[in-house]
């Protein structure tokens, strides 16, 4: 009996260690994601500020009453460079992070994530030219509330939602293809449909990715590989960051007030 109690005590202590480790792991995921969000929106605001002037003598194009693009704004938003900026984050995801996970340390992967967050800020900086500042803040808060609820559901639910993954990834691929096609078509109806479906898909991915991050940690916690778990936390932060950014952009397209 004493031996059984000892074994049970050891097992209980091990479970408590895993629970504490999981909390620390999720805190790392959310704090890294939050830092990335801060970098993105700070970079987007700074770039948009530098891209616009009220002085017509420094302007290359007029974009509104008393608002003009600077030479930087002209290069970013009207020259062929805009296509590079538009697709650079996508290329970074597909070709950059896989190599980073294999070759870099956990701190190196984190720096790569922050570099990506800065690049994403450049890519979405035009929102500060297109939408009012109030509507951007308003939609950001709506997105934050929805994201928090969905992520909490993914973390706490006892239901296995891993089966959502293949369906949701197929949906993301469909959105990417439809968005690229609509760049050339310019259909407002297609844009509206993409936004509606995008909100639903990235809402589902938020819950799915959160549960996946949790399960991945629980499956590998016994190995005690702190370096791998550090990288896994950053990749988890990247997944949730992309869910948030994309859901925000889709909601902004639906709810944002244009300048």
Helix, strand, coil share (%) of the chain residues, nearest 5 = 85, 5, 10
The whole-number average pLDDT for the span 243-254 is 95
CA 225/CA 230 separation, integer angstroms? 9
Which of 127, 134, 131 has the alpha carbon at shortest distance from 245? 127
pLDDT band of residue 1 (cuts 50, 70, 90) is low
Give phi and psi for 63, each to the nearest 5: -120, 0
Question: What are the pLDDT digits (tens) for 155-165?
Answer: 999 998 888 88
Which one has a higher pLDDT value, 121 or 222? 121
Identify the three-state secondary structure at position 1: coil
Domain carrying residue 246: 2-255
Task: Say whether pLDDT at 251 is over 90.
Answer: yes
CA 12/CA 131 separation, integer angstroms? 54
pLDDT band of residue 240 (cuts 50, 70, 90) is very high
Question: What are the pLDDT digits (tens) for 11-68?
Answer: 454 555 567 778 888 999 999 999 999 999 999 999 998 888 877 776 777 777 767 8
pLDDT at site 51? 86
Where are the alpha helices (H) located in the chain, listed in sequence order? Answer: 2-51, 71-77, 81-91, 97-103, 106-124, 127-130, 133-156, 164-185, 188-220, 226-255
20 class by beta-carbon count within 10 Å (0-12 exposed, 13-18 middle, 19+ buried): exposed
The whole-number average pLDDT for the span 141-149 is 96
Residue 154 near residue 208, CB atoms below 8 Å:
yes
Q: How many domains does the chain have?
A: 1
82: tokens are 């805009």
Task: Say whether pLDDT at 6 is over 60.
Answer: no
Which one has a higher pLDDT value, 10 or 106? 106
Task: Say whether pLDDT at 100 is over 80.
Answer: no
Q: What average pLDDT does the structure give for the chain?
A: 85
Which CA distances in Å does 237 have to 7, 21, 120, 162, 233? 36, 16, 15, 18, 6
pLDDT at site 218? 83
The 8-class DSSP code of residue 60 comes to S
Is pTM, for the whole model, over 0.85? yes
The whole-number average pLDDT for the span 132-155 is 94
CA 80/CA 63 separation, integer angstroms? 18
């Amino acid at each position: 009996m004493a031996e059984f109690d000892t074994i049970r005590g050891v097992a209980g202590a091990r479970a408590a260690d895993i629970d504490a480790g999981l909390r620390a792991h999720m805190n790392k995921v959310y704090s890294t994601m939050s830092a990335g969000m801060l970098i993105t929106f700070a970079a987007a605001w700074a770039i948009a500020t530098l891209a616009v002037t009220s002085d017509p003598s420094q302007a290359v194009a007029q974009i509104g009453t008393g608002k003009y693009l600077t030479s930087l704004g002209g290069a970013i938003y009207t020259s062929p460079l805009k296509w590079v900026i538009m697709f650079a984050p996508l290329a970074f995801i597909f070709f950059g992070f896989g190599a980073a996970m294999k070759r870099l340390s956990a701190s190196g992967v984190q720096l790569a994530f922050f570099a990506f967050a800065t690049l994403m800020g450049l890519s979405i900086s035009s929102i500060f030219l297109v939408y009012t500042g109030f509507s951007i803040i308003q939609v950001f808060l709506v997105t934050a509330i929805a994201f928090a609820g969905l992520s909490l559901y993914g973390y706490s639910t006892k239901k296995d939602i891993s089966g959502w993954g293949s369906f949701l990834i197929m949906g993301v691929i469909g959105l990417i293809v439809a968005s690229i096609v609509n760049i050339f078509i310019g259909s407002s109806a297609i844009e509206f449909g993409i936004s509606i479906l995008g909100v639903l898909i990235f809402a589902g991915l938020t819950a799915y990715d959160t549960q996946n991050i949790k399960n991945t940690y629980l499956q590998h916690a016994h190995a005690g590989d702190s370096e791998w778990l550090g990288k896994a936390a950053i990749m988890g932060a990247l997944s949730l960051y992309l869910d948030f950014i994309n859901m925000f952009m889709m909601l902004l397209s639906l709810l944002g007030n244009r300048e």
